Amino acid sequence: MIKPSIPKGTRDFSPIEMAKRNYIFNTIREVYHLYGFHQIETPAMENLSTLMGKYGEEGDKLLFRIQNSGDCFRGITDEELLSRDVQHLSAKFCEKGLRYDLTVPFARFVVMHREEITFPFKRYQIQPVWRADRPQKGRYREFYQCDADVVGSDSLLNEVELMQIVDTVFKRFGVRVCIKINNRKILSGIAEIIGEAERIVDITVAIDKLDKIGLDNVNAELREKGVSDEAIAKLQPIILLSGTNDEKLATLKTVLADSETGLKGVEETEFILHTLAALNLQNTIELDLTLARGLNYYTGAIFEVKALDVQIGSITGGGRYDNLTGVFGLPGVSGVGISFGADRIFDVLNQLELYPKEAVNETQLLFINFGEKEAAFAMQTLLQVRAAGIRAELFPDTCKMKKQMSYANAHNIPFVALVGENELAEGKVTLKNMTTGEQQLLTPAELITAIKS
Amino acid sequence: MIKPSIPKGTRDFSPIEMAKRNYIFNTIREVYHLYGFHQIETPAMENLSTLMGKYGEEGDKLLFRIQNSGDCFRGITDEELLSRDVQHLSAKFCEKGLRYDLTVPFARFVVMHREEITFPFKRYQIQPVWRADRPQKGRYREFYQCDADVVGSDSLLNEVELMQIVDTVFKRFGVRVCIKINNRKILSGIAEIIGEAERIVDITVAIDKLDKIGLDNVNAELREKGVSDEAIAKLQPIILLSGTNDEKLATLKTVLADSETGLKGVEETEFILHTLAALNLQNTIELDLTLARGLNYYTGAIFEVKALDVQIGSITGGGRYDNLTGVFGLPGVSGVGISFGADRIFDVLNQLELYPKEAVNETQLLFINFGEKEAAFAMQTLLQVRAAGIRAELFPDTCKMKKQMSYANAHNIPFVALVGENELAEGKVTLKNMTTGEQQLLTPAELITAIKS
């Protein structure tokens, strides 16, 4: 008998972990609904022709491929087999692969269902994705993504609402965050005015080190990367950019005066920040030029969220992109989206102990089982208790009280109901508060009131 | 450019379908919680060693296998490759497969986590499963199962509570059902007393036809199947079994007087039915000896649920089993479970038009966008509206009113808010009821009251 196990990089979720994860997903879902986003789901398996070439060469290698059912060798010559060419033969053995992210299936969905969709299409999607990555701490081969996107609208109000969603979600979690915002057009503008369009990534990486290594070392690093002295001189006000968002925007307007694209980025950012300023965000939002995520993908605003009280990478991110669906033959569909990192948020809430008790303690009341007659009375009472919306159980077996109480303890059940001979005679229930130890003799109606209060 | 498609037998779910599916899952989930069941999740991928041999030879062929990442040819000789032996080589190419049902992963979970689990373990699980079945109408290669099981308790109160759950779920859906119950031990008892233990399936199939073909033809069919005349004579009271559940139980007690197993089955069924009789079920529960599902798997009670007002197969089923985890090295874990058929329930609710409006209409209010100033006022109002828990949107673009109104219509949004110059001046909103066409000029606070009432 082999001890059973699960594939590396995958996880089982226990009831307590599920309760916490559901709390996270439900909070995000509720806020998405408040803002008019609608859920879709796509199949776990997509045709490999849909997935291949969308994630770069590295990504193609990380796809989980599903072997064709039936005779997977049909149509393959002996020579091909003996070539042992994994890439070539995989393509013959496997027509399907597991979803690698939610974006490509979403693009495929928009194209396939474009006749049924009324644009702007505000969709959210909470589903697992699979990547044949090397498993390591905090990185899994199966994990959930929670994405929301608006496609088919160029309005910057979408960016504004996504930031409101981010702010509301973390307010509800009780997590203090800093929302960082940047704009791809500002970065392009910077590259343009210093004549170093190709080095924009090197430049943002260097700027990001200012606090740690100081201005001289940043400039030295830029020089090392081949940025010209003239360009470095022009870059100085940008490297030293500081102050409030408005001060930063003012500096950028001067520096980027000659770049139409750059000024457009400044204007967009200004609109987003000024509109948000009137909307009472709980968390701070900061213009951060070092934010350069997904540079090849995003075309306008870029967002990222950092937790203030826990050392952890970005817990949410997103941005505006053009041409989501061009690769599937439908050009001109632009959009903007965000993605909450559920696994990291799970860790943050764990570390800060922010799970509300009622989200995690699922059963509220356990009836101890003293025998057939007592159980019959308990089941009658349970009819009323459950009709009142209280989550309650009767211990199914008539075993030792100690075993039944340890079940209540193991599940953190806050109330235990005892029905013995005396209670039965009176038609009442002894309710024990497991936190205080206090006991009360109550009618079923009083019991409901006691638990609900 | 290839038109994108999805693998056969799989489905995309649109927002309206998702809203309906979520209504089904949430209803089931809420009732599971009321009865103290806790959710777990297991990975989509299991090791093939966990899955193989658990579903019969046919089942093994229907598993979706995942190709090993990296060089899947390593350790395979040229001769093996050229043998083209699919079974043998698949086992080398693939170590993992997709979940085929929720039961085997649950058994694996119980064994792996037995030290952390406090028994009885009441778990539910709502996840997709995958089968490489021939796709046909109503049968998919990816579909959800919604299972609840209690393991580690022999008490029949578990059977009783599962029937209460079934009754409550369909009461909440508004679907009239007949819950059918049988007991494997009764069937074994019948086979025992007529000396035809091997023919129990033939017998139940024949009995099932009584209404359609009449007694003579049933007896003829039994004779054809090789059941002896003596056995057929003994079977007559069972074939003709009718009346109330109590009448049926009384007949069975007489007929099965010589079978200890049979009498045990009658006693169990009597306990379940009598206990339920005091618990005000909304739906009828009927002892039905023709119910023989999963005969090799179930060892006690067997359940099945039929919709009364729609022609469709069983929409929920379950039963008691022994030795769930024996195959993984942990003997003696028995349990009882049910499984709701989400796809069929979806069809039933569609046919009977039973989806509650509020479950399906997601956005309650749309603000029409007349321009920058008006939008800014709308966003302020939206702060209050959403804080009141109303799901609301502002159309993001300042386009023609007709386009914006058709968005509201396409999404069945019941209220539209209009903020033009006049409203702006007064700090009010014109609220249009999309069903009645009625318009009212309201303050933001009045608007919230109007929508909530």
Q: Is there a contact between A36 and B328 if contact means CB atoms under 8 Å apart?
A: no
Look at residue A2 in the predicted model and tell me its pLDDT. 65
> Is residue A378 predicted with pLDDT exceeding 80?
yes
Q: State the average pLDDT over residues B183-187.
A: 93
Look at residue B76 in the predicted model and tell me its pLDDT. 87
Look at residue A365 in the predicted model and tell me its pLDDT. 97
Cβ neighbours of B11 (radius 10 Å): 15
| Nearest CB to B45 within list A90, A142, A369 | A142
Q: State the average pLDDT over residues B68-91.
A: 84
Query: B405 CB near a chain A CB, below 8 Å?
Result: no
Look at residue A342 in the predicted model and tell me its pLDDT. 94
Look at residue A291 in the predicted model and tell me its pLDDT. 87
d(Cα A316, Cα A305) in Å, to the nearest integer?
5
> Is residue A366 predicted with pLDDT exceeding 90?
yes
> Is residue A30 predicted with pLDDT exceeding 90?
yes
Look at residue A41 in the predicted model and tell me its pLDDT. 98
d(Cα B9, Cα A193) in Å, to the nearest integer?
54
Lowest mean pLDDT among A267-271, A291-295, B416-420: A291-295
Can you read off the two tokens belonging to residue A446? 């009083």
> Is residue A86 predicted with pLDDT exceeding 90?
no
Look at residue B323 in the predicted model and tell me its pLDDT. 84
> Is residue B113 predicted with pLDDT exceeding 70?
yes
Nearest CA in chain A to B363: A36
Query: pLDDT-derived band of residue B12, with 50, 70 and 90 as boundaries?
Result: very high
Look at residue A83 in the predicted model and tell me its pLDDT. 87
Task: From chain A, pick out residues whose CB is under 8 angstroms from the CB of B68.
Answer: none
Report how far apart, in Å, the C-alpha atoms of B251 and of each of B242, B276, B299, B312 are: 9, 21, 22, 31
Percent of chain B with pLDDT over 70: 99
Nearest CA in chain B to A51: B4
Look at residue A277 in the predicted model and tell me its pLDDT. 96
Q: Pick from A367-381, B232-246, B324-338 the range whose average pLDDT is largest.
A: A367-381
Spell out the SS3 assignment of chain A: CCCCCCCCCCCCECHHHHHHHHHHHHHHHHHHHHCCCEECECCCEEEHHHHCCCCHHHHHHCCCEEECCCCCCCCCCHHHHHHCCHHHHHHHHEEEEECCCCHHHHHHHHHHCCCCCCCCEEEEEEEEEECCCCCECCECCEEEEEEEEEECCCCCHHHHHHHHHHHHHHHHHCCCEEEEEEEHHHHHHHHHHCCCHHHHHHHHHHHHCHHHHHHHHHHHHHHHCCCCHHHHHHHHHHHCCCCCHHHHHHHHHHHCCCCHHHHHHHHHHHHHHHHHHCCCCCCEEEECCCCCCCCCCEEEEEEEEEECCCCCCCCEEEEEECCCCHHHCCCCCCEEEEEECHHHHHHHHHHHCCCCHHHHCCCCEEECCCCHHHHHHHHHHHHHHHHCCCCEEECCCCCCHHHHHHHHHHCCCCEEEECCHHHHHHCCEEEEECCCCCEEEECHHHHHHHHHC
Q: Which residue has the tokens 């042992």?
A: A84
Query: A46 CB near a chain B CB, below 8 Å?
Result: yes
User: Could you report the per-residue pLDDT of A151-210, keeping only the tens digit for each?
Assistant: 999 999 999 999 999 999 999 999 999 999 999 999 999 988 888 777 787 887 787 788
Average pLDDT, chain A: 92
Task: From chain B, pick out residues whose CB is under 8 angstroms from the CB of A390.
Answer: 34
Can you read off the two tokens belonging to residue B127? 């996840």
Nearest CA in chain B to A41: B13
Look at residue A419 in the predicted model and tell me its pLDDT. 95
Q: Is there a contact between B38 and A362 if contact means CB atoms under 8 Å apart?
A: yes
Look at residue B90 in the predicted model and tell me its pLDDT. 82
Look at residue B145 in the predicted model and tell me its pLDDT. 96
Look at residue A393 in the predicted model and tell me its pLDDT. 96
Q: State the average pLDDT over residues B394-413.
A: 95
Q: Is there a contact between B42 and A111 if contact means CB atoms under 8 Å apart?
A: no
Query: A83 CB near a chain B CB, below 8 Å?
Result: no
Average pLDDT, chain B: 92
> Is residue A296 predicted with pLDDT exceeding 80?
no
Query: A64 CB near a chain B CB, below 8 Å?
Result: yes
Lowest mean pLDDT among A167-181, B90-104, B142-156, B163-177: B90-104
Look at residue A369 in the predicted model and tell me its pLDDT. 97
Chosen for mutation from B1, B8, B12, B399 (greatest number of chain A CBs closer than 10 Å) is: B12
Look at residue B295 in the predicted model and tell me its pLDDT. 62
Q: State the average pLDDT over residues B288-314.
A: 88
Query: A282 CB near a chain B CB, below 8 Å?
Result: no
User: Could you report the per-residue pLDDT of B206-265, keeping only the tens digit for each?
Assistant: 877 887 888 999 899 889 988 889 888 888 888 888 899 999 999 999 999 999 999 999
Look at residue A293 in the predicted model and tell me its pLDDT. 67
Q: State the average pLDDT over residues A385-390.
A: 96
Measured over the CA atoms of residue B72, residue B78, residue B79 and residue B85, the dihedral's sign is positive
> Is residue B377 predicted with pLDDT exceeding 80?
yes
Look at residue A295 in the predicted model and tell me its pLDDT. 62
Look at residue B1 in the predicted model and tell me its pLDDT. 59
Q: Is there a contact between A6 and B391 if contact means CB atoms under 8 Å apart?
A: no
Residue B44 exposure: Cα atoms within 13 Å on the Cβ side: 27
CA distance to partner chain A, nearest, from residue B424 (Å): 16
Percent of chain A with pLDDT over 90: 74
Lowest mean pLDDT among A117-126, A250-259, B54-63, B304-313: B54-63
Q: State the average pLDDT over residues A84-91.
A: 83
Q: Chain B, 91-130: which have a CB under 8 Å from a chain A CB?
A: 93-96, 98, 108-109, 111-113, 116, 118, 120, 122-123, 128, 130
d(Cα B105, Cα B118) in Å, to the nearest integer?
18
